Amino acid sequence: MPRPIARVLTLLELLQSGGLRTVAELADRLGVDERTVRRYADHLIDLDVPVESVRGRYGGYRLAPGFRMPPLMLTDDEALAVLLGLAAGRRSGLTTAPGAATAATDTAGETAAAKIRRVLPDRLRHRLDAVLDSLAFTAPPGASAAPQTPVLLAIADAVRHHRPVRIRYTAADGRSGERTLHPYGLVAHAGKWYVTGVDAGIGEDRTFRLDRVADARTLPGSFEPPAGLDPARRVLEGLATAPYRHEVTLRIQGTAEQIHTRLPASVALVTEAPAAGEWSRVELRVERLDWLPGVLASLDLPFVIERPDELRALVAALADRLTRAAQASFGSGRISSRRQGAPPSGSWGRGGTAQR
């Protein structure tokens, strides 16, 4: 879009936000002089947009009351933001009201998205549809790390048409390089975007954060993704098995659903017991162990620590602190202890068992 036309449309957006805008304010927002602002306002009037000029010391421009701009003009970034917001709200339940309002709210979200698609250029509409078709949501958003729009659109298109893509990627340790990827799917998880697929250079499955991709170019050719593929599950398993300082293995007497209430799938891999009431195997890779004893206690399920020994000591120390706190009394301005003895080594009440 030519720069002067883009600024005229920006002027229209500013005026549509309501109120009277001074010429000086508009000039500052548009990065032009006041004479150019007046010329842009004349352009809008020539397009039958009812721009009103208010004279005087505090004069400026405003739109006539009740005016609504018929065409929907969005940049690629704006259209992507609107459609993703609608999709995320619908899939996460944010746009779903209880009871009779549910169907009406869902319909409103769908019709709003349809209206936006209808007025978008074919080129952009097809590319945005590719993003939505290839996207999976796994969790409510956390601290966001947004990818570049051209990168997201290019990879989504490659996912949809099963085409390889060349990416320039910077790893967490700062090393950068180019990779050829056969992308299987896009996943939005905890405020971050991921693409999962096969790194053609090494022939192994890999997951990449999109905010670390500086460039993406679709390559000639095609590939066939595996049948029954679940990109969201691949990303969660990749996060749970990423290399960290400590490898933890537990046995917990409970189902995967119960365990994931405190240890989410992005943190813990759970091999569920074949029968109810038996022990599931849980594997974690973590940088720190100090947070795990409290989480394991909050599960309120029996557990056994297989490794590491450092975690056994931390669980025992937490049990000892809680026992002392439960036996303490407060009176005469000081705390006195009624401790009768430490709990048996390796025990953790009903909450679980840390065996030495």
Tell me: pLDDT of 331 over 50: yes
| Percentage of the chain exceeding pLDDT 70 | 77
The answer for residues whose C-beta is within 8 angstroms of residue 189's C-beta and 6 or more apart is 137, 138, 139, 232, 235, 236, 239, 266
| Residue tagged 């659903």 (tokens) | 257
Residue range 255-265: mean pLDDT, rounded: 87
Q: Give the residue-averaged pLDDT of 8-12.
A: 85
Domain limits of the chain? 3-63, 76-133, 149-240, 246-326+344-353
For residue 340, what pLDDT band results from cuts at 50, 70 and 90? very low
Q: What percent of the chain has a predicted confidence (pLDDT) above 90?
A: 23
Closest CA to 256 of 232, 273, 241, 235: 273
Specify the higher pLDDT residue, 128 or 173.
128
Q: Report the pLDDT value the prediction gives residue 145, as an integer from 0 to 100.
A: 64
At residue 100, does pLDDT exceed 60? Answer: no
Distance CA 114, CA 102 (A): 18
The CATH number of domain 246-326+344-353, selected from 3.30.70, 3.40.390, 3.30.360, 1.25.40: 3.30.70
* Options 2.20.28.120, 1.10.10.10, 2.40.50.180, 2.60.40.420; CATH of 3-63: 1.10.10.10
pLDDT tens for 42-51 read 988 888 888 8
What's the confidence (pLDDT) of residue 193?
A: 86
Residues in the chain: 356
> 0.75 cut: is pTM over it?
no
pLDDT at residue 355 greater than cutoff 50: no
Query: Topology of 149-240 in CATH?
Result: SH3 type barrels. (2.30.30)
Q: What is the distance between the alpha carbons of residues 225 and 217, in angstroms, rounded to a whole number? A: 19
- Asked whether the predicted pLDDT for residue 107 surpasses 60, the reply is no
| Model pLDDT, residue 203 | 87
Strand partners, 192: 145, 189
pLDDT at 241: 67
pLDDT higher than 70, residue 242: no
What mean pLDDT comes out for the span 324-339?
Answer: 67
Q: What is the pLDDT of residue 39?
A: 92
Say how far apart CA 115 and CA 49 lie, in whole Å.
22
Of the ranges 3-7, 20-24, 58-62, 135-139, which is most confident?
A: 20-24
pLDDT of residue 205: 84
**pLDDT above 90 for 57:** no
3-state secondary structure of 251: strand
What is the token pair recorded at 268? 């813990």
Residue 35 pLDDT more than 80? yes
- Token digits for 129? 């549809």
Higher local confidence (pLDDT), 339 or 145: 145
